[in-house]
Structure 1
Amino acid sequence: MRSLLLIADTREQLTELQKLLGDAYTLFIAESQGDALECLQITKVDVVVGAFETRAVEIVQLFEQAKVLQPHCVTLYLAPPLPPNNAGRERFVPQSDFSIRRPFSGDELRLTVKQAIEKQQLIEGLASHREQGSVQRPSLPLKPTGELSLARIGQILRDFAKAFSSNFDLERALNLFLDAVGELLRPSRLSILARNRTTHVFEVRAYRGLQPKVAESLRLRADEGLPRWLTTEARIIHRAEVETHLHIPAYREIHREMQALRSVASIPLIAAGALVGILNLGERVTGLPYTDDELEVLFSLAGQAAIGIQDIHLYQELQTQKVFIENILTYMSNGMISIGLDERIRIFIHRAAEILQKPPIEVLNEDLRQLPSPLGDLLYETLHHGVSYDQYEIVLAAGKRPLKVSTYQVFDERRQVSGSVMVFEDLTAQKQLDEGRRRADRLDFLNRVVGHIAHEIKNPLVSIKTFIELLDERYDDPEFRSYFSNVVKHDVKALDNITEILVDFSRKTPYRFEYGDVNTTIKNCILSLMSSSRYFMKHHLEDYREQQSFKPDISNIEFTPNENLPLVRFDEEKLSKAFIYICFYLMSKMKSTGKLLISSDMSDNEYYDKASCITIIGIGCNLSHTELQQLFDPFNVEQSNLLDVGPCIAQKIIEDHGGRLNVQQAKDGQTTFMIALPISS
């Protein structure tokens, strides 16, 4: 990774430059000329970037000294903005390889830096070719022969074991490892780089003898330079070997990075074929080279260290995931319990403790019998019998708390059952909310029904009251007595019908079931419709118009029976009411041109193997989508009259017979009620 030295007037300018350049380069920061020169003396820098407002003399001196200390580096000057309206003389611009004037965008700065690095590579390449032709490179130094004693090897292994028994603390492990290497080889400088799992660059994680500023700022890209070579070759690289290949650009990059690290040998830390770290050795304090035996031992230890680093990374990742999962479980709105094969409770999260009112310390690692019934039974069935419950509602034996429970088995990596888990939700608040909503619905329904009942009762009472008031005066008038007698009889019958509807709707009445012929009951209902529908509908429809409304007779009611229907067990009086309520509802929605088509037959359906099916079709009865959706819901039905609750009562009666009532709406304005009654064997 290429390195840049940034120097500016203020800390804010340096921070801004760091943000613009990002992590594509190793950035060294200098807040003064002295800091910049110190950095140039101790580490390799490719581009020196200066951003000064007024200190023109200092930047000139800095650029000149940079060229002296590092002849191959390139200078970039970030000039201040021009004065407003170009007033006065333009500010002095020091001589530099590149310059760019503020304000500039991040793309403009990065492009200029890229050009500066390309020039630096060209300068470095030309210099390398000149040196290659004029100077003979020294051969690799001879390594003194020597053998490692058993005592020394034992000490190395003890130090190494100490390094990687540090309780998964990566920083401590790496520092102890460097101490062991230092005791073995006595290098003047020593560093180890580890791969950052987020940014995928190698960073100095532990060092000896390097400048802290260099160690903290140095970054090596995994796909460039030294890391790439070590990944590809998987062996030790010597700086002397690199210097014999400086005519190759890739080796010049490696040489630059080894110079920055003050390394004469770099050893890869490889685990499972991946480069996880780099160990860098500086010159020996004695000036002698490292022996082959020493480097071979160190290479073997480096491989074990790589495995240790990888294990520590895995442990840290697992710890991070554990904390993440624990945080999720802590703030879950549902409770969760898990048991193992030994039927002991392994997980008991905070929300579960709140719902069950049991502290975790009393439950964890205890037998599942510590759980309130029936939670333990459900977990046991899931664990041993594979019975899974999905959104299953239960009530705790203790406290009568309602819960919604789901259970499932847990499997290990071999797909063997290793436990069972239960997730449950406290329904107490939901039940209370539902109960409050039901009470509000009942109250609203009651208000509407009471108002309508008062209106329904008042109509017949008017004629009765009038008759009573005029009775004394006109009792001797036979025409008066005859007329009002008929009116009062009909009104009393209307009151009786209203009371009957309310009784059928509001409470369960006993049934007298007997086997009978459904066809005969339907025929009797049709006769009843023809005799009483006119007066009934007149008193229950506010907008009833005799000329336009449907009037049942033999011309507009057709019945097609199946004479071979078997006997059905039913209450004739109640079932007759259901038929009549459905017919009255259809008639109330039809005009004089409509028709009622009634048929009976026997068929199979999704509910019964054999059933008597009665179909009632209203031709000319066109219901809206809302009316169709709310037809059997008494709390939502628009009750313009008591006939609107007729389908609700009919459904209740038919279901009490064990049957089903459905409705369909055709596009041509045809509404069909289908009644299915089971046939007993």
Structure 2
Amino acid sequence: MELLALLSSRDDIVVPHVKGALKNYTVYPLKTIEELEDLYGNIPLGLLLIDISSHKLSALGDFLNRLDSDRVVIITPQRLDRRTKEQLPPSVFGSVDDDSIMAELPAIVERALERQRFRNELRLLKQSHDPLSPLQTNPGVRPDAETLPGRCDQSPGGRYVPEKVVVNFAKMLTASFDMRKLFDHFVDSVLEIARVSRMSIMLREKDVFNVKAHHGLDPHLADHLQLRKDGALASRLARTGRIMNKPVNFFDTESINIRNEMDLLRCSVSFPMIHNGRLIGIFNIDSKVTEEPFYKEELEIIYLLCSYLAAAVKDIDLYHHMWYQKEFTKNILSSMSSGMIAVDRDEKITVFNQQASEILDLDPSKIIGGALSALPSPLGDILYETMVTGNAYRRHEATLQPSGLPVGINSYRLLDEHRNPAGAGIIFSDLSDSRKLEEQRGMAEKLRAVNDLMAKIAHEVRNPLTSIQTYIQLLNEKQTDDDLHNFYISTVSQSIHRLDRLIDKLVTFSSTQNYNFNREDINDLIACAVDNVSKNLPRTHRISRKLMDGSFYVSADRRQLIKAIYYLVQSIVDMTPDGTAIEMNAIAARDALFVEISIVYEGGCRVEEVRRNLLKPLLDINNLETELNVPISHKIIEGHNGNLDIKNEGGANAFVIRLPVLDDRRGASVPFKGGSVAGQ
């Protein structure tokens, strides 16, 4: 980890740009030269960045001349020319202008640091040719732990585990999942063991270690200190898992980097905080305030406390993670627009959110922990069924008892880690507003339909009324043209008949008919129907009949049934070209239980189109005068306990009316489920 000092007063421009460009380094911003000199005298800085727009080089001359070569990079308002660069002090490695900070500064800093590392390696190479000084060791220290010089013999056993240490250690483990209190008790415990001048606790966050608690360090400095996980000190602690003393003699680049990092942390000993074989933190202490060496027992106790601290930190992290998840889930449940209820395998209610309380008007404090019987029916039954059988309800609508409140329900089964039933849950919503909205929408649709129907009726009625109004105007003018007079009399008569037929159709189609049923002979009905139709049949079409052999009787309203036949013939006339021949006949079917009256014709619309018109609603009819014929006939036949069908056989189409035959022995019609359309 490299710590860079930035001397600049331009917090709005230079400082954020430099930090953004040097994200891989720790940049310590300073405002005055005094702060820079103080920091440089106490902490090993990798590089100095100086903004000469806020601090002139002339005022920094003495300070820059005291520095080693290539220790400074200056930030200038404009790019320097070659001559100006040659006149810079030896301590200045390079320069970058304001506009090039993001693009050029990272490369310049990397080259400057690389040159410093090269000089350190050269110094190590020179030292390798000199006789090595013997390592300073102490008889009471493990051979695998680096030690400090001047080590004294250990004191009598038990001296370093006083009562206060045990008390603070117990407080540390019962810190009630408060990380700050945990660190405070840990620091107190260490101070009871050894009165050190400085200490810091660093925890890993992603790829760096940050200072979370400290004693004796500058707070502003501690907030900016970071160690990369792949740094020299962190790598050594993770690899060995042992106590690390600050190196005294340098044998490789790693030792130099470790010493630089420990100088930066202002410590002489670093302890690994390991949990499940993974380095999660680093505890650093400086020398004792009395400058006495550390004893073996002191280091071992602190090392042991660090192990317990690592476990406690992970437990607190887990607790806070679980607490966060619980609060997150609680917030979701409280903000849901639907009610939610969950039960465990013991049929106890474990979840009852705020919306469920509002919908059911129940107090959550009285419901949670209670039995299923506390819930209104059928919520408890659905929860129990889903938990026991696994049957899940989807978009199920039910009515709560005894309130009669309509709700929509979705249920699901809860499983444990072994896929065994662990409970059940339901999500439900109040459908009262939805039902009201549907009713309002239905009323609006009905109103719109009525408006459309009125427009259609007005259009159909307006044409005949126009003829009548014209004739009345001619009467007022006392026209003497007999031919014109006769023409308008005929036209008015036709218009009145047209209005009468239209009103009769609308009444028949829209209202419930009271039929006058009598015992009628099929042959007589056919004969009367053909005679009635012939009177109003246009000359372009002709109709014939074919009577049955024998007598068959049905229960019918003669007038209404003949009207139905007449409307069917009118429909055939509208569908077929001039010259079409129409024939009516009847046959007994199904062992004489039914009689079928067929109206046969050639040509016209397709059978499927006519069959769709049988059940066409009034609001979908465009021409009320012609398109009402088939629906009205179907309604009348349906009222006679019969049905109507359209068939195509041998190239000819036929409307088929099927009616139940009277059973003379009982004087009643053969039972038949009417009101259906064959083929539907």
What one-letter code is carried by the residue in structure 1 that aligns with 2:367? V
Equivalent pair of 1:33/1:58 in contact (CA under 8 Å): no
Aligned ranges 1:508-519 → 2 under 5 Å: none
Number of paired residues? 587
User: Which residue among 188, 205, 209 is the counterpart of 2:216?
Assistant: 209
Residues 425-458 of structure 1, C-alpha deviations (whole Å, 9 max, x = no match):
2222222222222111111110111232344456
Task: Give the aligned partner of residue 34 of structure 1.
Answer: 34
User: Which residue among 639, 643, 662 is the counterpart of 2:622?
Assistant: 639
Residues 453-497 of structure 1, C-alpha deviations (whole Å, 9 max, x = no match):
344456678899999999xx99xx999999999997787555433
Q: Residues 115 and 634 of structure 1: is their aligned pair in 2 closer, same or farther, counting only changes over 3 Å?
A: farther
Q: Distance in 1 between matches of 2:318 and 2:174?
A: 15
Q: Residues 401 and 205 of structure 1: is their aligned pair in 2 closer, same or farther, counting only changes over 3 Å?
A: same
Equivalent pair of 1:460/1:495 in contact (CA under 8 Å): no
What one-letter code is carried by the residue in structure 2 that aligns with 1:244? F
Q: Residues 500 and 277 of structure 1: is their aligned pair in 2 closer, same or farther, counting only changes over 3 Å?
A: same
Task: Give the aligned partner of residue 186 of structure 2.
Answer: 177
Deviation at residue 157 of structure 1 after TM alignment: 4.5
Aligned ranges 1:186-225 → 2 under 5 Å: 186-196=195-205, 199-225=206-232
User: Which residue among 90, 98, 101 is the counterpart of 2:97?
Assistant: 101
Q: Residues 3 and 455 of structure 1: is their aligned pair in 2 closer, same or farther, counting only changes over 3 Å?
A: same
Task: Give the aligned partner of residue 24 of structure 2.
Answer: 24
User: Which residue among 271, 276, 281 is the counterpart of 1:272?
Assistant: 276
Residues 514-534 of structure 1, C-alpha deviations (whole Å, 9 max, x = no match):
xxxxxx9xx99x999998998
Task: Give the aligned partner of residue 79 of structure 1.
Answer: 76
Q: State the superposition RMSD in angstroms.
A: 5.4
User: Is it true that 1:139 corresponds to 2:148 in the alignment?
Assistant: no
Equivalent pair of 1:189/1:209 in contact (CA under 8 Å): yes
Q: Residues 431 and 55 of structure 1: is their aligned pair in 2 closer, same or farther, counting only changes over 3 Å?
A: same
Task: Give the aligned partner of residue 429 of structure 2.
Answer: 425
Residues 81-103 of structure 1, C-alpha deviations (whole Å, 9 max, x = no match):
379xx9xx99x976611100122
Equivalent pair of 2:333/2:353 in contact (CA under 8 Å): yes
Task: Give the aligned partner of residue 548 of structure 2.
Answer: none
Q: Distance in 1 between matches of 2:567 and 2:275?
A: 83
User: Which residue among 363, 366, 373 is the counterpart of 1:369?
Assistant: 373
Aligned ranges 1:240-389 → 2 under 5 Å: 240=247, 243-245=249-251, 247-248=252-253, 250-389=254-393
Q: Output the TM-score relative to the length of structure 2.
A: 0.70
Q: Residues 392 and 415 of structure 1: is their aligned pair in 2 closer, same or farther, counting only changes over 3 Å?
A: same
Task: Give the aligned partner of residue 6 of structure 2.
Answer: 6
Aligned ranges 1:570-581 → 2 under 5 Å: none
SS in 1 for 2:227: strand
Task: Give the aligned partner of residue 585 of structure 2.
Answer: none
What one-letter code is carried by the residue in structure 2 that aligns with 1:208? H
Equivalent pair of 1:630/1:637 in contact (CA under 8 Å): no
Equivalent pair of 2:247/2:259 in contact (CA under 8 Å): no
User: Is it true that 1:232 corresponds to 2:229 in the alignment?
Assistant: no
Equivalent pair of 2:340/2:355 in contact (CA under 8 Å): yes
Deviation at residue 331 of structure 1 after TM alignment: 2.0
Q: Residues 479 and 335 of structure 1: is their aligned pair in 2 closer, same or farther, counting only changes over 3 Å?
A: closer
Equivalent pair of 1:632/1:648 in contact (CA under 8 Å): yes
Q: Residues 146 and 204 of structure 1: is their aligned pair in 2 closer, same or farther, counting only changes over 3 Å?
A: same
Residues 248-300 of structure 1, C-alpha deviations (whole Å, 9 max, x = no match):
3x333222111111222222111122211111132234444434444344333
Deviation at residue 581 of structure 1 after TM alignment: 9.7
User: Is it true that 1:125 corresponds to 2:121 in the alignment?
Assistant: yes
Residues 8-59 of structure 1, C-alpha deviations (whole Å, 9 max, x = no match):
0233346424542364211222121111122112222111111131531233
SS in 1 for 2:305: helix
Equivalent pair of 2:8/2:15 in contact (CA under 8 Å): no
Q: Residues 578 and 145 of structure 1: is their aligned pair in 2 closer, same or farther, counting only changes over 3 Å?
A: farther
Task: Give the aligned partner of residue 61 of structure 2.
Answer: 60
Residues 599-655 of structure 1, C-alpha deviations (whole Å, 9 max, x = no match):
xxxxxxxxxxxxxxxxx999977999xxx9999885984735466678999999999
Q: Residues 73 and 350 of structure 1: is their aligned pair in 2 closer, same or farther, counting only changes over 3 Å?
A: farther
Task: Give the aligned partner of residue 450 of structure 1.
Answer: 454
SS in 1 for 2:64: helix
Q: Distance in 1 between matches of 2:163 and 2:561?
A: 100
Q: Distance in 2 between matches of 1:75 and 1:410?
A: 65
Q: Distance in 2 between matches of 1:103 and 1:134?
A: 48
Task: Give the aligned partner of residue 167 of structure 1.
Answer: 176
Deviation at residue 412 of structure 1 after TM alignment: 2.6
Q: Distance in 2 between matches of 1:408 and 1:620?
A: 53
Using the TM superposition, name which of 39-48 and 643-652 deviates more: 643-652
Equivalent pair of 2:204/2:210 in contact (CA under 8 Å): yes
SS in 2 for 1:152: coil
Residues 573-607 of structure 1, C-alpha deviations (whole Å, 9 max, x = no match):
9999999999999997999999x9xxxxxxxxxxx
What one-letter code is carried by the residue in structure 1 that aligns with 2:437? L
Using the TM superposition, name which of 428-437 and 635-644 deviates more: 635-644
What one-letter code is carried by the residue in structure 2 that aligns with 1:176? H
SS in 2 for 1:354: helix
SS in 2 for 1:438: helix
Q: Distance in 2 between matches of 1:493 and 1:349?
A: 64
Q: Distance in 2 between matches of 1:618 and 1:282?
A: 110
Deviation at residue 224 of structure 1 after TM alignment: 2.5
Equivalent pair of 1:631/1:637 in contact (CA under 8 Å): no
Residues 94-119 of structure 1, C-alpha deviations (whole Å, 9 max, x = no match):
66111001222523222322222222
Using the TM superposition, name which of 449-458 and 635-644 deviates more: 635-644
Q: Distance in 2 between matches of 1:361 and 1:387?
A: 29
SS in 2 for 1:24: coil
Q: Residues 93 and 409 of structure 1: is their aligned pair in 2 closer, same or farther, counting only changes over 3 Å?
A: same
Taking only the aligned residue pairs, the percentage that are identical comes to: 27
Q: Residues 231 and 485 of structure 1: is their aligned pair in 2 closer, same or farther, counting only changes over 3 Å?
A: same
Aligned ranges 1:428-439 → 2 under 5 Å: 428-439=432-443
What one-letter code is carried by the residue in structure 2 that aligns with 1:639? N
SS in 1 for 2:247: helix
Using the TM superposition, name which of 640-649 and 227-236 deviates more: 640-649
Deviation at residue 139 of structure 1 after TM alignment: 0.7
Q: Residues 166 and 457 of structure 1: is their aligned pair in 2 closer, same or farther, counting only changes over 3 Å?
A: same
User: Is it true that 1:396 corresponds to 2:404 in the alignment?
Assistant: no
Equivalent pair of 1:267/1:280 in contact (CA under 8 Å): yes
What one-letter code is carried by the residue in structure 1 that aligns with 2:122? L
What one-letter code is carried by the residue in structure 1 that aligns with 2:400? L
User: Which residue among 76, 101, 111 is the counterpart of 1:115?
Assistant: 111
Larger radius of gyration: 2
Q: Distance in 2 between matches of 1:229 and 1:651?
A: 95
What one-letter code is carried by the residue in structure 2 that aligns with 1:194? L
Q: Output the TM-score relative to the length of structure 1.
A: 0.70
User: Is it true that 1:48 corresponds to 2:52 in the alignment?
Assistant: no
Equivalent pair of 1:368/1:376 in contact (CA under 8 Å): yes
What one-letter code is carried by the residue in structure 2 that aligns with 1:277? G
Residues 278-323 of structure 1, C-alpha deviations (whole Å, 9 max, x = no match):
1113223444443444434433332222111111111122222222
Q: Residues 42 and 483 of structure 1: is their aligned pair in 2 closer, same or farther, counting only changes over 3 Å?
A: closer
Q: Distance in 2 between matches of 1:141 and 1:552?
A: 132
Q: Distance in 1 between matches of 2:309 and 2:558?
A: 91
Q: Distance in 1 between matches of 2:297 and 2:165?
A: 13
